């Protein structure tokens, strides 16, 4: 049973405390929450001669946060509420806070001010707009500086730096969705997988803008990152900064780019875009994400001209696509080559005319689609997000096939032939988490330890099963017997979200993973660790249970002629 939500309060520096609103269960259906390790919404209180509150949490925590805050401070003495970004989810807390503390002045970027006035439905809100030059003196040395760090998903993002404590309040940067009792990142290596996953979901589609943000903060004497989510970064600060730069380099060095153009009225279309982008980037193709509500026409045109493919998404508002999406569509039709791969997605409440418009215009223009048009009604759930991620991966793989210089059919070198002589038993890895299940045919499996019994599996980054193979995830290894029926079933290409187990007899393992009734044997496993090895993840897992299902069968073995493909 999950613990109830609560607020953890802890001093972090001189006159500075953190209020960590904690959810021990998965908070939202967005791809960056998919590891289901809970999250913290970190809010910071600086008490100088004047008092500032940085980044109050969203409406999920409004009641418990305000109760905890009022128990420790007279909220009528708060002078400023500083917002790293503004979204509808945060509006409920800000409205409630303003009602009990009407003296508050809000501090945010200029795009944030526009969003804030709309979210609170008050054109006369007291707002200080910070564009990067202005400071804010709270007294006692807390002379705050502001660094705009916008990106397409968070065009209003603003970082805040306190030179007195040398803390950089980083908003979305350097965060992770993980809930625990640790306020700081002691043993920071244990959080690196979660921070990497968060980076891939939230930062990778905006690599160019994130690089610019890191340059802006590079000269600040920072001793601690204070992000919106997860533990505060103190012990692993230098290493995490280096890791961000390395991960960004991996993205920006990719040969192929996809232009992902969208607008989002309520956040649902943005969630779909994020899942598609994650599927593209993990397949080794760069994403140039463009929020057409804020992008200039020249920016959209440049991205289209440089890309190997484009994907455009829209909400439906009043039966139409927003004006900005229609403008972007015109730019696409005028500048995209017919050889570029295309894709369409969108979300809607009662109808989906905007999606139909985008699809019909691109089909009439003669463009080839990289996946079936994605239509999402209301908020996407786990199954929809899985379908979107797999669609993004298929899109990226199609682009790489077209642009691949060296084909698989080319003669294998002596080295590749030698590597291909390494044999592996054929198995099907299966996993299920909630409503999401997947499977893959695998031969790169090896026993790794006796005590505890353990094995390693090499999983390509672009496999559909990969998101279900993070630390703590349960799965099953179904060892195949000689024969082609099961092997052929799992060798075929699957469309995004397609049921891998349709027509196959299965049973459920104790850990919830599907077990193939026709397998030779199966092992129930738990992922303990994983390591990045080129274009694969090397997963180490312990074996918790297992059973031989066919005493007379012989293990199927995979023979290869070349070591450069499966």
Please name the residue that has the structure tokens 């995830």. Answer: 473
Looking at the domain 6-251, which fold is it? Answer: Metallo-beta-lactamase; Chain A (3.60.15)
Q: Is the pLDDT of residue 79 over 60?
A: yes
The per-residue pLDDT for range 381-393, each reduced to its tens digit, is 999 999 999 999 9
pLDDT level of residue 2 (50, 70, 90 thresholds): confident
Q: Which residues of 536-553 are buried (b: 16+ CB within 10 A; e: fewer)?
A: bbbbbbbbbeeeebeeeb
DSSP state of 393: H
Which residues pair with residue 227 across a beta bridge?
Answer: 171
Q: What is the pLDDT of residue 405?
A: 46
Comparing 408 with 273, which gets the higher pLDDT? 273
DSSP states of 111-124: HHHHHHHHHTT-TT
pLDDT at 402 over 90: no
Considering all CA atoms of the chain, what is the largest pairwise distance in Å, rounded to the nearest integer?
80
Cα separation, 343 vs 396, whole angstroms: 11
Q: Evaluate whether 191 touches 176 at the Cβ level (below 8 Å).
A: yes
Give pTM, 2 decimals.
Answer: 0.92
Mean pLDDT of the region 482-489: 89
Better pLDDT: 80 or 119: 80
What distance in Å separates the CA atoms of residue 124 and residue 113, rounded to the nearest whole number?
Answer: 11
In this model, does residue 560 exceed pLDDT 90?
no
8 A C-beta contact, residue 42 and residue 20: yes
Q: Which of 472, 45, 417, 413 is nearest to 226 (CA)?
A: 45
> Which pLDDT value is given to residue 406?
40
Cα 252 to Cα 274: distance, rounded to the nearest angstrom: 18
Grade residue 404 by pLDDT with cuts at 50, 70 and 90: low
pLDDT in tens, 160-211: 999 999 999 999 999 999 999 999 999 999 999 999 999 999 999 999 999 9
Alpha helix ranges (H) inside 141-267: 192-198, 207-217, 237-252
Residue 1 has pLDDT above 80, yes or no: no
- Distance of alpha carbon 193 from alpha carbon 209, whole angstroms: 22
In 3D space, the residue among 273, 134, 305, 117 whose CA is nearest the CA of residue 204 turns out to be 273
CA-to-CA separations, 153 to 191, 211, 295, in angstroms, rounded:
24, 15, 11
Query: Which is the CATH superfamily of the domain at 414-558?
Result: Electron Transport, Fmn-binding Protein; Chain A (2.30.110.10)
In degrees, rounded to 5, the angle at the alpha carbon of residue 162 between the alpha carbons of residues 157 and 166 is 115
CB 506 within 8 A of CB 515: yes
Whether the CB-CB separation of 341 and 309 falls below 8 Å is answered with: yes
Prior bond of 209 cis (ω within 30°)? no
CA distance 13 to 435: 43
Half-sphere exposure of 425 (CA within 13 A, CB side): 21
> Predicted confidence band at 409 (pLDDT cuts at 50, 70, 90)?
low
**353-378 residue pLDDT tens:** 999 999 999 999 999 999 999 999 98
Tell me how far CA of residue 406 lies from CA of 66, 69, 401, 564, in angstroms: 60, 61, 10, 11
Residue 288 Ramachandran class (φ > 0 left, ψ -120 to 50 alpha, else beta): beta
Rounded to an integer, what distance in angstroms lies between the CA atom of residue 542 and that of residue 536?
19
pLDDT score at 555: 93
pLDDT of residue 484: 82
8 Å CB contact between 163 and 57: no
Tokens matching residue 12: 């972090």
135: burial class by Cβ within 10 Å (0-12, 13-18, 19+)? Answer: exposed
Indicate the pairing of strand 341-348 with strand 309-315: parallel
Please provide residue 285's backbone torsions phi and psi, each rounded to the nearest 5 degrees.
-125, 140
Residue 405 φ then ψ, to 5°: -75, -45
Q: What is the mean pLDDT of residues 422-445?
A: 93
Give pLDDT, residue 524: 98
Q: What average pLDDT does the structure give for the chain? A: 94
C-alpha span between 8 and 52 (Å, rounded): 19
pLDDT at residue 41, rounded to an integer: 97
Evaluate if residue 483 carries a pLDDT over 90. Answer: no
Domains of the chain, residue spans: 6-251, 255-401, 414-558
> Does the structure show a pLDDT above 60 at 270?
yes
Cα dihedral 165→169→173→175 (10° resolution): 80
Tell me the CATH number for domain 255-401. 3.40.50.360
- CB 149, CB 211: distance < 8 Å: no
Same fold, 6-251 and 414-558: no
d(CA 248, CA 251): 5
| pLDDT for residue 195 | 97
Read off the pLDDT of residues 113-164 as tens digits, 9 standing for 90 and up: 999 998 888 888 999 999 888 899 999 999 999 999 999 999 999 999 999 9
Summarize pLDDT for 455-472 with one digit per residue, the tens: 999 999 999 999 999 999
């Amino acid at each position: 049973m999950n613990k109830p939500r609560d607020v953890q309060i802890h001093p972090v520096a001189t006159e500075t405390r953190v209020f960590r609103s904690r959810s021990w269960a998965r908070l939202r259906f967005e791809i960056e929450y998919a590891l289901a390790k809970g999250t913290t919404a970190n809010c910071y209180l600086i008490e100088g001669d004047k008092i500032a509150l940085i980044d109050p949490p969203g409406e999920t925590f409004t009641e418990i946060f305000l109760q905890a805050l009022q128990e420790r401070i007279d909220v009528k003495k708060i002078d400023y509420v500083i917002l790293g970004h503004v979204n509808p989810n945060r509006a409920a807390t800000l409205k409630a806070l303003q009602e009990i503390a009407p003296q508050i002045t809000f501090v945010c970027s200029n795009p944030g001010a526009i969003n804030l006035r709309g979210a609170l439905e008050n054109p006369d809100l007291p707002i200080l707009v910070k564009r990067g030059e202005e400071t804010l003196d709270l007294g006692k040395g807390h002379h705050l500086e502001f660094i705009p760090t916008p990106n397409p998903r968070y065009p209003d993002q603003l970082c805040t730096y306190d030179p007195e404590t040398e803390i950089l309040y980083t908003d979305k940067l350097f965060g992770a969705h993980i809930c625990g009792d640790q306020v700081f990142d002691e043993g920071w290596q244990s959080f690196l997988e979660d921070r990497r996953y968060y980076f891939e979901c939230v930062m990778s589609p905006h690599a160019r803008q994130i690089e610019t943000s890191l340059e802006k903060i590079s000269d600040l004497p920072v001793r601690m990152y204070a992000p919106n989510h997860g533990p505060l970064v103190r012990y692993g600060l230098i290493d995490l900064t280096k890791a961000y730069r390395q991960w960004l380099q991996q993205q920006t060095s990719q040969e192929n780019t996809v232009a992902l153009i969208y607008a989002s009225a309520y956040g649902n279309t943005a969630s779909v875009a994020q899942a598609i982008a994650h599927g593209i980037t993990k397949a080794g193709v760069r994403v140039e994400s463009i929020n057409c509500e804020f992008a200039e026409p020249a920016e959209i045109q440049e991205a289209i001209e440089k890309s190997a493919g484009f994907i455009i998404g829209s909400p439906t508002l009043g039966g139409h696509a927003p004006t900005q999406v229609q403008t972007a569509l015109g730019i696409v039709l005028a500048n995209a080559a017919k050889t570029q791969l295309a894709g369409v997605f969108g979300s809607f409440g009662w109808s989906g005319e905007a999606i139909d418009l985008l699809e019909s215009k691109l089909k009439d223009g003669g463009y080839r689609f990289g996946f079936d048009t994605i239509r999402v009604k209301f908020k996407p759930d786990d199954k929809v997000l899985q379908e979107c991620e797999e669609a993004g991966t298929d899109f990226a793989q199609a682009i790489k096939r077209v642009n691949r210089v060296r084909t698989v059919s080319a003669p294998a070198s002596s080295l590749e032939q030698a590597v291909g002589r390494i044999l592996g038993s054929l198995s099907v890895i299966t996993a299920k988490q909630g409503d999401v299940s997947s499977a893959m045919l695998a031969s790169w499996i090896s026993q790794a330890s006796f005590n505890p019994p353990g094995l390693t599996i090499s999983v390509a980054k672009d496999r559909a099963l990969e998101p279900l193979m993070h630390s703590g995830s349960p799965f099953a290894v179904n060892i195949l017997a000689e024969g082609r029926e099961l092997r052929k079933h799992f060798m075929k290409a699957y469309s995004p979200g397609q049921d891998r187990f349709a027509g196959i007899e299965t049973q459920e393992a104790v850990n919830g993973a599907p077990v193939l009734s026709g397998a030779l044997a199966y092992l129930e496993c738990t992922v303990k660790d994983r390591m990045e090895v080129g274009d694969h993840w090397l997963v180490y897992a312990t074996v918790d249970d297992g059973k031989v299902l066919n005493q007379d069968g012989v293990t199927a073995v995979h023979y290869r002629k070349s070591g450069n493909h499966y």
